[in-house]
């Protein structure tokens, strides 16, 4: 049943120009303009994700927080242009913050912002918070990884084997079109590359000085609770770690009411 008191949410699509191709973005804004003065929440998707795969969550997040919410398809994903070549294995996470996120910020007018990332999007969100510390009001991670844990790599390898089935790949094509194979390989080949074994967010997290909310499912198949604990321990600013029982990798889909309440409360408490 819909909430009759919930604000109306206006949705707009945007095109962000980048030297390497067009980046698709979408924004959700409460009607009436009350959110215009508050820093928006920017969503960064997971390894196989895109704007469409956030489903109803951005609109619900906008309604729950009273803020503008923005999500974009990383270059090579969803409705954004195709990307040439595989991202560099050791640097594709930090690269998003330095190379692509600035164009989204500039062209959508994001002077100050809250960054919220799911899975590898959470890793990228950590880099964004570290890179733009003066402008990042808060960082929210969901199911983010901080290093290549054995559990993570084992289940990525299992997923790669499952996608050998053409029917599985067709599910990705629904959202990524003829870029689906590239999307899959950008995930599995990078994480399973032996060179990636040295990757860690340990040197990046101390540069995060804003308030942090790290959300993680107790049953997350792509990472144990060592990851949110590391985020909480190594971040320089005030950090809150929330472990959700009976929850796997996509907490905002499995426990949407819980995640919305956590995020809305966290955002309301920001000074």
In eight-state DSSP terms, residue 81 is: P
Residue 5: per-residue pLDDT: 54
Is the full-model pTM beyond 0.85?
A: yes
Q: What tens digit of pLDDT does each residue of 163-216 get?
A: 988 888 999 999 999 999 999 999 999 999 999 999 999 999 999 999 999 999
Provide Rg for the chain, Cα atoms: 17
C-alpha to C-alpha distance for 1 and 65, rounded to whole angstroms? 20
- Do 146 and 227 touch, CB atoms closer than 8 A? yes
CB neighbour list of residue 207: distance below 8 Å, 6 or more residues apart: 130, 133, 236
Tokens of 269: 């408490």
Domain boundaries, the chain: 9-268
| The pLDDT value given to residue 258 | 98
64 CB neighbour count, 10 Å cutoff: 22
Contacts of 168 (CB under 8 A, 6+ apart): 162
What secondary structure letter does DSSP report for 187? H
DSSP 1-35: ---TTSPPEEEEEEEEEETTEEEEEEEEEETTSGG
Residue 243 has pLDDT above 90, yes or no: yes
For 9-268, give the CATH class. Answer: alpha beta
């Amino acid at each position: 049943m819909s909430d009759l008191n919930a604000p109306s949410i206006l949705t707009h699509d945007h095109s962000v120009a980048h030297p390497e191709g067009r980046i698709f973005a979408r924004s959700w804004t409460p009607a009436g303009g009350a959110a215009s003065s508050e820093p928006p929440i920017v969503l960064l998707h997971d390894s196989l994700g895109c704007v469409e795969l956030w489903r109803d969550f951005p609109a619900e997040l906008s309604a729950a927080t009273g803020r503008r919410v923005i999500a974009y398809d990383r270059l090579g994903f969803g409705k954004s242009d195709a990307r040439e070549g595989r991202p560099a294995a050791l640097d594709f996470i930090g690269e998003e913050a330095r190379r692509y996120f600035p164009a989204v910020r500039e062209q959508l007018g994001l002077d100050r912002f809250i960054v919220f990332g799911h899975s590898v999007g959470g890793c990228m969100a950590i880099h964004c918070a570290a890179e733009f510390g003066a402008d990042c009001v808060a960082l929210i991670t969901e199911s983010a990884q901080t290093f290549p844990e054995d559990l993570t790599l084992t289940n990525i390898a299992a997923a790669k084997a499952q996608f050998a089935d053409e029917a599985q790949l067709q599910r990705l094509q629904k959202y990524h079109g003829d870029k689906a194979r590239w999307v899959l390989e950008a995930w599995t080949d990078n994480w399973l590359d032996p060179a990636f074994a040295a990757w860690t967010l340990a040197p990046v997290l101390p540069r995060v000085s804003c308030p942090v909310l790290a959300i993680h499912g107790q049953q997350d198949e792509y990472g144990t609770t060592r990851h949110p604990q590391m985020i909480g321990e190594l971040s320089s600013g005030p950090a809150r770690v929330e472990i959700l029982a009976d929850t796997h990798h996509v907490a905002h889909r499995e426990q949407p009411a819980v995640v919305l309440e956590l995020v809305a409360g966290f955002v309301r408490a920001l000074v």
